[in-house]
């Protein structure tokens, strides 16, 4: 618990953006279909599912992160679909009520193709964080 408080003090942006995404999922009033681009270990996905996401699709280029997410999200069963691959080329079925890209753009040199594909897949709302470019 003390470690969590320290993390919140040192890196408040991580928690604020996750809280904003979870609030967005709750605001739908039904079980939205959620896509998490650059899902990492599934930490935000876990919160989104607990907040009422009906389906969660997480994609990340890192297989070790997907393995961590599988362990973290196993308790949510069939409502979770995790994919290891390139978001720009991995086939995804249908559209999503909520698309999250939290921390993704910190690692992307050319954000436009990612934002464009997110927009194509979105039937509701997108939430993303961006680094403080200088």
- What is the rounded distance in angstroms from the CA atom of residue 53 to the CA atom of residue 21? 11
Least confident of 12-16, 55-59, 84-88, 102-106: 12-16
pTM listed for this prediction: 0.87
Phi, psi of 132 (to 5 degrees): -80, 85
CA distances (Å), 66 to each of 30, 43, 123, in order? 27, 11, 25
Helix (H, G, I), strand (E, B) or coil at 27: helix
CB 104, CB 37: distance < 8 Å: yes
Structural domains of the chain, with CATH: 2-128 (3.40.50.150)
Which tens digit of pLDDT belongs to each residue from 48-94? 999 999 999 999 999 999 999 999 999 999 999 999 999 999 999 99
Q: To the nearest whole number, what is the mean pLDDT of the chain?
A: 88
C-alpha 15/C-alpha 89 separation (Å) is 30
pLDDT at residue 3 in the model: 55
């Amino acid at each position: 618990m003390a470690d969590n408080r320290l993390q919140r003090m040192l890196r408040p942006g991580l928690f604020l953006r996750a809280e904003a995404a979870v609030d967005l999922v709750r605001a739908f009033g039904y079980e939205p279909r959620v896509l998490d681009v650059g899902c990492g270990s599934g930490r935000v996905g876990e919160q989104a599912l607990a907040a009422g996401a009906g389906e969660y699709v997480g994609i990340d280029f890192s297989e070790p992160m997907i393995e961590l997410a599988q362990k973290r999200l196993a308790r949510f069963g069939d409502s979770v679909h995790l994919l290891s691959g390139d978001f720009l080329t991995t086939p995804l079925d249908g559209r999503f009520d909520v698309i999250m890209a939290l921390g993704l753009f910190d690692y992307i040199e050319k954000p436009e193709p990612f934002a464009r594909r997110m927009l194509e897949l979105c039937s509701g709302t997108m939430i993303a964080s961006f680094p403080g470019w200088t």
